[in-house]
Chains A and B, each alone.
Chain A
Amino acid sequence: MTTEAPPVVAVDRPQDSAPTTGVRAWLSRHPLAAYAIRRFGLYLVELWGALTIAFFFFRLMPGDPIQTLIQTLQQNYIYNQQASAEIIARYQHEFGLDGNFFSQYLKYMEKLVLHGDLGPSLINYPTPAQDVILRALPWTIGLLGISAVLAWVFGIIIGAVAGWRRGKLGSSVATNLSIALSHVPYFFIALILVYVFAYSLGMLPARSAYDSRIEPGLSPDFIGSVLKYGLLPGLSIVIIGTFSWILSTRMLMVPVLGEDYLVYAEAKGLKGWRILTRYALRNCYLPQITAFGISLGFIFNGNVLVEQLFNYPGLGTTLVTAIQQLDFNTILGVTNIAIFSVLTAVLILDLLLPLLDPRVKYWK
């Protein structure tokens, strides 16, 4: 054999032809920072756009909330006298409904952005709408947030194993069960759970968020009661969610199992679980992260049904009550929370994805 050494392979270095000083130069030297700044700017624009659309959308809805309020007051306090124009004007000012749309909008944005103030809630007057929302928010995050995360984690794990062991009995059972159950309406499972555990067995409560005889606080009794009351609504979300995540994870997993690098990993003599996690799952879970971010938005849609069904004091119940009473400020507030969470989740995911998968690159 000849002794000629193989030449050292040179790797192309990116050519810097950009200016060497100033902001532009700094940005061209730090593409990741430049990307993050640009992405954050886009986020602010999206946020502003969505909040603005939501504002005008609700302002253009038919119905007069002040009239509704006055009627409610009349019914409740047997207040027979016709509301004077003065009272109506006062209320309109209180609720930010005076003047034209544009001046209403400016006042609304100023209060929202500078003070985080949504104005008073109509049905809980004079409590500010943000207080009504903040009171409900922990319940929603606690119940739906935790359930959604649990469903995702269980779904990914079971789905990955089901894909990995495809053709085996356990995998077929999990897969077929998922196909059958992932599209069953949520409330159907909830009703079965309520029937079995709350009605027939009487083991678990089916309504409310905690035992009203216990003083709310950080006591073990109260926490235990919250967990107990949250079990049925939580379980019904976790079950349906898990099955749909199983199905999608398995579908992502199976094509990856045919890849050359899986054959290579097997030839390397690595342990099965390591091949499953580092080679198979690591290459297919990325779409599930994006899907999870998007599914967070559905927490704010889907929760209406869950919370109504279990009479849970979360955002969904707040929203339904607010819509029935035309409580503009609260409706807008809940909508804003949904807008904010989805946009923020997508922002975080966009910034996170390049770290999770080296092939993802948004910047040049």
Chain B
Amino acid sequence: MSEQAVLEVSGLEVTYSTNRGDVRAVQGLDLSVRRGEILGVAGESGSGKSTLAVALLRLLKPPGKVTAGSAIFHPKGRSPVDLLKVEGEELRVLRWSALSYLPQGSQSSLNPVMRVEDQFRDVILEHAPQRKEALSELIHRLLAQVGLEPRVTRMHPHELSGGMKQRVLMAICVALEPDLVIADEPTTALDVTIQRVILQSLADLRDDFGVTLMVISHDMGVHAQLADRVAVMYEGRLVEVGDVHQVFKDPRHEYTRQLIESIPRVGRRAS
């Protein structure tokens, strides 16, 4: 695993304007994501972790606004770009082939009226038209990678279970072997057994495709199982970043300690 950074965020500020004043959702955030790693971003609801994800993906909608900072992205074979400044066609081309997104499977992120295969097809052909020849084999291979049968290609989203939808989304997000995948709560709203399978598949995807993953989750258990490093956010600020073992063993920030304590354990009663 090289130590080279694929993304360097510095001084990021995101503000939501409301009629009762501005809410600073992300404040002065510095963070770098190393190539090939799985970086977990932890924090409670409202800590700004999802805002960080949508800001980096450039999916932030008004009244949200990036007010300061830069996010230098180093895609393979391309010149570095500032994700927060890139616009229009340049941004569109960067998407999916270099920077992809894994949404929450319980959301309706799959187009309800398109077959699964067409949801692969449109994004692959948009960014890599040369793959047209062996497209269905590619789709079958991607689905097999996440443990789905080939006949899922002919199905529509409403015929899939929540876990299956999450797998389809995972297969789509690595289809073009992007440099960075930002996963926003990939296991939320799935039952715990499926969560475990999904986490395993995510880890396998990293091993097989060499993608870099940034996993946003409120669940410290997810980070313990999956991440190499963990970044902890609290009230819009990054309070701690470090190796997952170190953070769990010896949290430097009081909030991190509380987060770890909040993981339910068998035999311990809530007081």
Binding site for B on A (CB under 8 A): 1-2, 4-11, 259-261, 263-271, 274, 278-279, 282-283, 357-359
Please tell me if the beta carbons of B111 and A2 are within 8 angstroms of each other in the complex: no
Closest to A272 in B: B92
Contact of B95 among A1, A11, A267, A283 (CB under 8 A): A267
**Can you name 18 A-B pairs with beta carbons within 8 Å?**
A1-B203, A1-B207, A2-B200, A8-B147, A10-B149, A11-B149, A11-B155, A263-B103, A264-B103, A267-B57, A268-B122, A268-B123, A269-B96, A269-B126, A271-B126, A278-B111, A282-B111, A359-B156
Which residues of B have CB within 8 Å of A359? Answer: 112-113, 156, 158
B146 within 8 A of A: yes
Considering the chains assembled together, what is the distance between the CA atoms of A265 and B118 in angstroms? 12
B27 within 8 A of A: no
* Min C-beta distance of B92 to chain A, whole Å: 5
B108 within 8 A of A: yes
Please tell me if the beta carbons of A6 and B123 are within 8 angstroms of each other in the complex: no
Which residues of B have CB within 8 Å of A259? Answer: 108
Which residues of B have CB within 8 Å of A10? Answer: 149
Contact of A264 among B94, B110, B127 (CB under 8 A): B110
Closest to A356 in B: B113
* Min C-beta distance of B140 to chain A, whole Å: 13
Which residues of A have CB within 8 Å of B149? Answer: 8-11
* Min C-beta distance of A252 to chain B, whole Å: 14
Which residues of B have CB within 8 Å of A358? Answer: 112-113, 115, 156, 158
* Min C-beta distance of B82 to chain A, whole Å: 17
B167 within 8 A of A: yes
Please tell me if the beta carbons of B108 and A261 are within 8 angstroms of each other in the complex: yes
**Per-position binary interface string of chain B over residues 37-50, scored 1 when its CB falls under 8 Å from any chain A CB and 0 otherwise:** 00000000000000
Please tell me if the beta carbons of B156 and A261 are within 8 angstroms of each other in the complex: no
Which residues of B have CB within 8 Å of A11? Answer: 149, 151-152, 155, 159
| Residues from 195 to 212 in B contacting A, C-beta threshold 8 Å | 197, 200-201, 203-204, 207
Please tell me if the beta carbons of B158 and A268 are within 8 angstroms of each other in the complex: no
Please tell me if the beta carbons of B101 and A267 are within 8 angstroms of each other in the complex: yes
* Min C-beta distance of A343 to chain B, whole Å: 27
Please tell me if the beta carbons of B114 and A9 are within 8 angstroms of each other in the complex: no
Contact of A261 among B92, B112, B123 (CB under 8 A): B112
The total of interchain contacts (Cβ-Cβ below 8 angstroms) comes to: 101
Considering the chains assembled together, what is the distance between the CA atoms of A128 and B108 in angstroms? 59
Please tell me if the beta carbons of A279 and B111 are within 8 angstroms of each other in the complex: yes
Closest to A8 in B: B147
Please tell me if the beta carbons of B197 and A6 are within 8 angstroms of each other in the complex: yes
Which residues of B have CB within 8 Å of A279? Answer: 111
Which residues of A have CB within 8 Å of B100? Answer: 267
Considering the chains assembled together, what is the distance between the CA atoms of A256 and B149 in angstroms? 30
Closest to B226 in A: A1
**Per-position binary interface string of chain B over residues 102-128, scored 1 when its CB falls under 8 Å from any chain A CB and 0 otherwise:** 010001111111110000001100110
* Min C-beta distance of B163 to chain A, whole Å: 7
Binding site for A on B (CB under 8 A): 57, 59, 91-97, 100-101, 103, 107-115, 122-123, 126-127, 146-149, 151-152, 155-156, 158-159, 161, 163-164, 167, 197, 200-201, 203-204, 207
Considering the chains assembled together, what is the distance between the CA atoms of A52 and B163 in angstroms? 55
Please tell me if the beta carbons of A264 and B197 are within 8 angstroms of each other in the complex: no
Contact of B164 among A4, A9, A264, A278 (CB under 8 A): A9
Please tell me if the beta carbons of B59 and A267 are within 8 angstroms of each other in the complex: yes
Which residues of B have CB within 8 Å of A269? Answer: 91-97, 123, 126-127
Closest to B167 in A: A9
Which residues of A have CB within 8 Å of B151? Answer: 11
Known contacts A9-B163, A359-B113; A278 and B122 CB within 8 A of each other: yes
Closest to B62 in A: A167
Which residues of A have CB within 8 Å of B164? Answer: 9
Please tell me if the beta carbons of A266 and B158 are within 8 angstroms of each other in the complex: no
- The residue among A9, A260, A265 with the most chain B CB atoms within 10 A of its own CB is A9
Which residues of A have CB within 8 Å of B109? Answer: 260-261, 263-264
Contacts A6-B197, A260-B109 known; 9 new A-B pairs at CB < 8 A: A1-B204, A261-B110, A261-B111, A261-B112, A264-B101, A269-B92, A271-B126, A274-B122, A279-B111
Which residues of A have CB within 8 Å of B201? Answer: 6
* Min C-beta distance of A273 to chain B, whole Å: 12
* Min C-beta distance of A288 to chain B, whole Å: 14
Closest to A286 in B: B113
Please tell me if the beta carbons of A267 and B96 are within 8 angstroms of each other in the complex: yes
Closest 9 CB pairs of A and B: A269-B95, A6-B147, A264-B109, A267-B101, A260-B107, A358-B156, A268-B123, A269-B92, A260-B109
- The residue among A2, A9, A263, A269 with the most chain B CB atoms within 10 A of its own CB is A269
Please tell me if the beta carbons of A270 and B94 are within 8 angstroms of each other in the complex: no
Please tell me if the beta carbons of B167 and A357 are within 8 angstroms of each other in the complex: no
Considering the chains assembled together, what is the distance between the CA atoms of A55 and B103 in angstroms? 60
Please tell me if the beta carbons of B148 and A8 are within 8 angstroms of each other in the complex: yes
Which residues of A have CB within 8 Å of B127? Answer: 269
Which residues of A have CB within 8 Å of B156? Answer: 358-359
* Min C-beta distance of A224 to chain B, whole Å: 43
Please tell me if the beta carbons of A5 and B147 are within 8 angstroms of each other in the complex: yes
Considering the chains assembled together, what is the distance between the CA atoms of A187 and B13 in angstroms? 58
* Min C-beta distance of B189 to chain A, whole Å: 13
Known contacts A6-B146, A9-B147, A358-B156; A266 and B59 CB within 8 A of each other: yes
Known contacts A269-B126, A359-B156; A283 and B147 CB within 8 A of each other: no
